[in-house]
Amino acid sequence: MSYPKSKLVLRMGPKNKYFKDRVTELSGENVDLCFQCGACSSGCPMTQEMDYLPSKIIRMVQLGLEEALESKTIWVCTTCFNCEVSCPRGIDIANVMEALRQLVLRKKYNRVSLDDLSPEELRDLPQIAIVSNQRKLTA
Amino acid sequence: MTRLAYYPGCTLKTNAKNFEDSAIATAEKLGIELVEPERWNCCGTVHSLSTDDVMHHLAPIRNLLRMEELSNAGEVDSKQVVTLCAMCYNTLKRSNTVFNEDSDRKKKIRDNMYKEDIQYSGNIEVLHYLEVLREMGWDKVKESVVKPLNGLKVAPYYGCLLLRPRGIGIDDTDNPTIMEDMLEALGAEAVKFAYSQKCCGSYNTVHMKEVVADLAYKILKQAEEAGADMLITACPLCEYNLGPRQSEVEKKYSVFKTIPVVYFTQLMALAFGLGEEATAFTGNKPDPRPLLRDKGLLED
Amino acid sequence: MENNAELVTIYVMGKKHKVPGDLTIMKAMEYAGHQFTRGAGCRGGFCGACATLYRKKGSYKLEGALACQKIVEDGMYIAQIPFNPAEKITYNLEELRPDANTMLEYYPELSRCLACNTCTKACPQDIMVMDCVQASLRGDITSAAQLSFDCISCGLCAVRCPAEIVPYNVGQLARRLYAKYIDGPSQHVMDRVKEVEEGKYDDEITKLMNASKDELAELYNNREIDLR
């Protein structure tokens, strides 16, 4: 996929650059296209649970800031793709969120655990909920 | 009878059996036989978004392989598969797209398909049941209606994965009409409301159910204020978050009045006059039957 | 006893040995001098104790087999798995019901199945393990029980599963639920038990118990063997 090359020139330290490149590679998205309009944040259903808004996370990735990995934001995302359809520059923010999650999950981290579910919950919850929950939030 | 390959998805065999029963009955009335393959597996929703992931695509592609086997064996009449669950639809369709567009991953997926007799060609088309109905023509659907749902105001809840992302969705994400058209064909009145595409909270219902209660409250309240008697949905997770989870909403918001949420196929079965086993309302929480009885649409 | 088979080279726990090429892995290891204190049981392919992993020379593939059944091949690189660590969930069968979500309640890791089929690949009994796991996830206990019928709990599937499921425990629960609640008690067994309790066989048993050793030998040697 070819996208317009950004004219933005940012000089970053090697660690930051590595992080940004890794997120770009894993998500397939060019975050430099973002001009911080905030349309993604306005359509997002989970903002009240987030510490950084989606647009802020994109900004952090643009600057190669690894703190994005420590946010609560990436874990409460429901992959509803509202951000993607709202973005005027065609960035799939959901892909970026997934890439950030993967960078943490691939280090043997599990956000949720099946052990936290009581037998009643396991009986009551539909399969689809447990399957998707484990798929997105565990290694 | 046209025979169409059908992918149920795990939840339709358990918590959402009413979705499946009503869909099969309505399809039969419309001249479609839904053929379920003997072997299939969980689609592994939600679609994996990482560009290097191969493992999480094995499950959806394996299902498409099953559908291809059905087609090769002559047990269905087309190279298509229809699903009812919006999440299964999205997962299968997106993995199919990855398989067909990413040649590198296509090879890797094929290499990792253990113990299969044939390789998937990539030629199965993934459809949602609503698309099949639209293709058939709403007039044809209307022909099967014996008891129009007159006076029933229904808010169509699309949710996320039926319409997004663009290119995968079954209708225009900004202004969808497919559910409204279906409701009109059934004789019901479609009630447009602002939150018809707002996410229900999805899988956060497992460990963050208070947040889901908040989202459900907003969605259901909006629908009610727009004048709806009930909502319809096409996804078992949405149904769970907007239906049975209303007990959580009631705990949090004392002013909240419960409102029934049913699968769209159940209303179809009702309008087609197919009887109790097809409408399968016993599985729904809250119970939609008192409301339907009041409207004179359900005899005891 | 002479063994005229050609010798082949195998590696057991990294050490090279030359063994007759028509022996099973288990016999070959004993030929090489190993004494089994673990990882050997019925020696007949039925108990699942001798789960073994091996690689063949020049091949990257990791293969699994039962040591008492698999014949050695030249260049086999063998390692045994004497024990597969797995938690067996305790449950009271009387309290369980074969509901759709029963399997998921006791083995919630079923929801993590990726349908990768690695378990089926590893199974030495040619069981369709993935299908059994998937059926359990779906609440189809009958299929899960029937598919896992040949399972001997050797553990090769559990060792390789990326989702950390233990398919043999899942299959065991499915079979127990199926037998108790779905298939129901066997009528012919119940009938026979009733007959025994009514004393139908008392005379015959008393006769046998009072028979001498010669009489018993006579009966045994002339017994009817049903060659159906």
Mean pLDDT of C43-62: 90
Parts of chain C belonging to CATH 1.10.1060.10: 93-183
Does B230 share its domain with B126? no
To probe the interface with C, which of B10, B45, B63, B119 has the most C CB atoms within 10 Å? B10
Does B211 share its domain with B187? yes
Does B150 share its domain with B121? no
Instruction: Report the 10 Å Cβ neighbour count for C204.
Output: 9
What CATH number is attached to the domain comprising A103? 1.10.1060.10
Given CATH 1.10.1200.10, say whether it is the number of domain C93-183.
Answer: no
For residue A113, name the pLDDT band (cuts at 50, 70, 90). confident
| A125 contacts on B by Cβ (under 8 Å) | 205-206, 240
Which strands, in side-by-side order, build the sheet including B189-190?
Answer: B189-190, B153-156, B230-233, B261-263
Looking at chain A from residue 77 to 116, which residues have their Cβ under 8 Å from any Cβ of chain C? 114
Does A30 share its domain with A82? yes
Q: How many CB pairs under 8 A join A and C?
A: 28
Please name the CATH architecture into which domain C7-80 falls: Roll (3.10)
Q: Is B174 contained in some domain? A: yes
Does B159 share its domain with B290? yes
Q: Show the tokens assigned to A71.
A: 């946010």
Residue A45 belongs to what domain range? Answer: 14-107
Which pLDDT belongs to residue A4? 67
Vertex A123 angle, CA A75 and C180, to 5°? 145
Contact B165 A133 (CB under 8 A): no
Considering B100, B130, B160, which residue would you say is the last residue of a domain?
B130
| Residue A3, pLDDT above cutoff 80 | no
A126 upstream amide cis, omega within 30 of 0 = no
For residue C228, name the pLDDT band (cuts at 50, 70, 90). low
| Of residues C28, C54, C72, C58, the one with CA closest to residue C156 | C54
Phi, psi of A43 (to 5 degrees): -90, -5
| A123 contacts on C by Cβ (under 8 Å) | 99, 101-102, 105
Residue B213 belongs to what domain range? Answer: 146-294
Which pLDDT belongs to residue C222? 86
| C140 contacts on B by Cβ (under 8 Å) | 13
Q: Is B230 contained in some domain? A: yes
Q: Show the tokens assigned to B78.
A: 């087309």
Does A116 share its domain with A99? no
Q: How many CB pairs under 8 A join B and C?
A: 53
To probe the interface with A, which of C111, C113, C136 has the most A CB atoms within 10 Å? C111
Q: How many domains does chain A have?
A: 2
Mean pLDDT of C206-220: 90
Which pLDDT belongs to residue A8? 61
Contact C115 B58 (CB under 8 A): yes
Task: Tell me the shortest Cα–Cα distance from A64 to chain C, in angstroms.
Answer: 32
Does B151 share its domain with B13? no
Q: How many domains does chain B have?
A: 2
Contact C138 A127 (CB under 8 A): yes
Does B171 share its domain with B54? no
Considering B130, B155, B183, which residue would you say is the last residue of a domain?
B130
| B44 contacts on A by Cβ (under 8 Å) | 131, 135
Which pLDDT belongs to residue C227? 67
Does A68 share its domain with A97? yes
Does B116 share its domain with B9? yes
Q: Show the tokens assigned to C191.
A: 């009938």
Name which of A91-100, B117-126, C23-32, C178-187 the model is least confident about. C178-187
Nearest to A122 among C105, C112, C138 (CB): C105
Question: Quick check: C112 contacting A, CB < 8 Å?
Answer: yes
Q: Is B300 contained in some domain? A: no
| Residue C159, pLDDT above cutoff 70 | yes
Q: What is the DSSP string of B179-247?
A: HHHHHHHTTPEE---TTTTS---GGGGTT-HHHHHHHHHHHHHHHHHTT-SEEEES-HHHHHHHTTTHH
Which pLDDT belongs to residue B237? 94
What letter represents residue C79's amino acid? A
- Kindly give the parts of chain B with pLDDT less than 50: none
Does A87 share its domain with A121? no
Does B118 share its domain with B153? no
| Residue C1, pLDDT above cutoff 60 | no
For residue C221, name the pLDDT band (cuts at 50, 70, 90). confident
Q: Is A118 contained in some domain? A: yes
Contact C137 A127 (CB under 8 A): yes
| Of residues B16, B5, B47, B84, the one with CA closest to residue B244 | B16
| Of residues A83, A68, A99, A101, the one with CA closest to residue A37 | A83
Which pLDDT belongs to residue B140? 92
Nearest to B115 among C101, C121, C140 (CB): C121
Q: What is the ipTM, given to two decimal places? A: 0.88
Contact B160 A99 (CB under 8 A): no
For the entire predicted model, the pTM comes to 0.87
What CATH number is attached to the domain comprising B258? 3.40.50.11810
Does B182 share its domain with B249? yes
Which pLDDT belongs to residue C97? 85
Does A66 share its domain with A46? yes
Q: Show the tokens assigned to C8.
A: 């082949």
Q: Is B151 contained in some domain? A: yes
Does A28 share its domain with A45? yes
Does B213 share its domain with B169? yes
Which pLDDT belongs to residue B44? 86
B268: CB partners within 8 A, 6+ apart: B22, B26, B141, B182, B186
Phi, psi of A65 (to 5 degrees): -90, 115
Does B119 share its domain with B27? yes
Looking at chain B from residue 100 to 159, which residues have their Cβ under 8 Å from any Cβ of chain A? none
For residues B227 and B66, give the distance between their C-alpha atoms in angstroms, rounded to a whole number: 44
Which pLDDT belongs to residue C170? 94
Mean pLDDT of A102-115: 89
